[in-house]
A and B are shown apart, each in its own frame.
Chain A
Amino acid sequence: MIAVNGASKMFRQPRRYSGLGGSIKGFFSREYTQVRAVEDISFAIDSGEAVGYLGPNGAGKSTMIKMMTGILVPTAGSIRVLGRVPHEERMANAREIGVVFGQRSQLWWDLPVRDSFELNRRIYNIADARYRENLGHLAEMLEMTGYLERPVRQLSLGQRMRAEIAMALLHDPKILFLDEPTIGLDVVAKDAVRRFLSQINRERGVSIILTTHDLQDIEQICPRLIMVDDGKLLFDGELGRLRAALGARRRLTLEFASDPGPVTLASARLISDEGVFKHFLIEDETISLVGILGQLGGGHDLKDVAIEEPDIEEVIRTFYQQRPALAP
């Protein structure tokens, strides 16, 4: 559905100098520096997927989104979205995608939310029945019914972002692009947005591509992760695979009613023994909890079992630290 092949994007920026003297110099000079925002990136995304595009600030995330939505042309390489070259068939592409920019509003500032939606109905030529059904559904799911009639300028950021997302979905796009949709939102609003996005991805089959530097967005919405830094692709695959590749392992804690003495497990290594509490690091990524308990065997007075997934922040931090070794 989306095929990106060796896409690169270079920007030409006038060279700037600091200070007053530098400003004067800059006024007369016509020097440019080449900035490489995206460098030789390839990936393919299937319909119905939810993909997180992750990277630090300035990694080239927004540039990639802009190229996929047809408002930037790649300097080299090719991009196809739904079989089209986005910037060549911008209008046709625009009808089938929805785009939300976390830092840029598409709503009419002075008008009630509903009026912006109405305008979108005209722009995308949405059939009446379909529009009413979508609006009702979205308003309910995003809990917007209370403020549909309020002007956008009076909304909180969380309310506005939900309205932005709803607006991008009114015309039943096949793909929803979101550029940092949770930026600046509080915990509750973030959670509402994440739950909604993963819901429409599962229930309506809308493909989601979102950029973020909030790792939780990815954990909750996107099974697949594309990691970039400095314009280059670092990792493409499932989060679990990234964990496995980095050796970030699950922790197992067993709690016994009474101290059973030393306990050994075939696929987990004991890291600390507090008597009734025993902590293990699971070394076999594929084994299930039942499998591990099988290894424990009977005869123990087991009270509680807990498995902790490694924290995604930690996974990624290790990833960036180990990058030179891992980079393809």
Chain B
Amino acid sequence: MYLSIAARAFQSRLAYRSQVWASFFGQTIQILARIAIWTAAYAGTASVEGVSLDDMVTYSILAGTVLAAWYYEALIQDIGTSVKTGDVAVFLLKPIRYPLYLFSSAFGEFAFRITAVVLPVVIVISFIYGLQPPASLFHGLMFASFWLLSFIILFELAATCGLLSFWLLTSFSLTYFLQGVIALFSGSLVPLWFFPPAFEAVARLLPFAWIAYYPVAVYLGQLGVEETLLFFAFGLGWAGLLALGIAMLWARASMRLIVQGG
């Protein structure tokens, strides 16, 4: 059942062909800009803190495209609008769980974005700049697992913000807030290793780091086997904790909805 919700979401996206093209060009330009910035920042230096320019190009491609495949802002907006218009009540009329419904449909969109936007962009950019292969087979496989975990955590953070709109009745400010926090703490713009040590130490423990920083660090082989597994387990812990938080938020939100009428 939830699988077919995901399939419907995937299919829904297909209805808008021009959107695919717009996303494709938008993403490509964004990645080119990032690579240009790093090239300028390196200014001919072979490596900064042990990281080469080639590594940074790969980092940009992975963090900027692959790990930003899913457009989480839309989820917050969607929950916000359906709270505002009362459409959320429709989901209470069906024998389904709303958070799982959201996850399934987000997953459908995620899958769509990967096939329709991410893969083509990565292929095109790799042709121009060259994408480094993963550090090892192990790191490559672990990257795939981290990638999925990254989507789950990103979804959970967005869903949490979306559900908060039940109380705040505004999703716009929440979207802004999450965008800022993610840009800073996830390493999607600037890898955490370039931050001051104290800041880095804190950021590495927050769930945002699993969105972009850890997956790429694993891909590039910056973490050893044991460390990789350890941080994967750590990330799973965060995912579990956030899932629990969403379940609680939803229970309270739906209680509020049926008691107060939204």
Interface residues of A (CB under 8 A from B): 9, 11-12, 63, 66, 69-73, 87, 90-92, 94-95, 99, 101, 104, 106, 108-111, 115, 118-119, 122-125, 151
Contact = CB atoms under 8 A, between A and B. Distances in A.
Closest 8 CB pairs of A and B: A122-B1, A110-B15, A122-B4, A94-B95, A71-B92, A110-B12, A91-B95, A99-B93
A125 B90 CA distance: 18
27 contacts: A11-B260, A11-B261, A12-B260, A71-B89, A72-B259, A73-B258, A90-B92, A91-B95, A94-B92, A94-B93, A94-B95, A99-B93, A104-B86, A104-B87, A104-B90, A106-B90, A106-B93, A109-B12, A111-B8, A111-B11, A111-B12, A115-B11, A119-B4, A119-B5, A122-B1, A123-B1, A123-B96
Contact of B95 (A104, A106, A109, A123): A123
A87 B87 contact: no
B15 to A, nearest CB: 4
A63 B4 CA distance: 32
Interface in B47-102: 86-87, 89-90, 92-96
The SS class assigned to the B binding surface is helix
A94 B89 CA distance: 12
A69 B11 contact: no
Interface size class of B (residues with CB under 8 A): 20 to 34
Given A94-B95, A111-B8, A63 B1 contact: no
The SS class assigned to the A binding surface is mixed
Interface of B: 1, 4-5, 8, 11-12, 15-16, 86-87, 89-90, 92-96, 257-261
A90 B260 CA distance: 17
A83 B166 CA distance: 31
B15 A151 contact: yes
A87 B258 contact: yes
A122 B223 CA distance: 43
Contacts of B86: 104
A72 B96 contact: no
A139 B96 CA distance: 25
Contacts of B4: 118-119, 122
A104 B82 CA distance: 11
A125 B95 CA distance: 10
B90 to A, nearest CB: 5
Query: Which of the listed residues B8, B96, B261 has the most CB atoms from chain A within 10 Å of its own CB?
Result: B261
Given A70-B258, A104-B90, A115-B11, 12 more contacts: A72-B258, A72-B261, A87-B258, A92-B95, A94-B95, A101-B90, A110-B16, A111-B8, A111-B12, A119-B5, A122-B5, A123-B95
B253 to A, nearest CB: 13
A9 B259 CA distance: 9
A63 B16 CA distance: 37
A285 B178 CA distance: 70
Contact of A111 (B15, B89, B92, B258): B15
Contacts of A151: 15
Nearest to A115: B8
B100 to A, nearest CB: 11
A115 B94 CA distance: 17
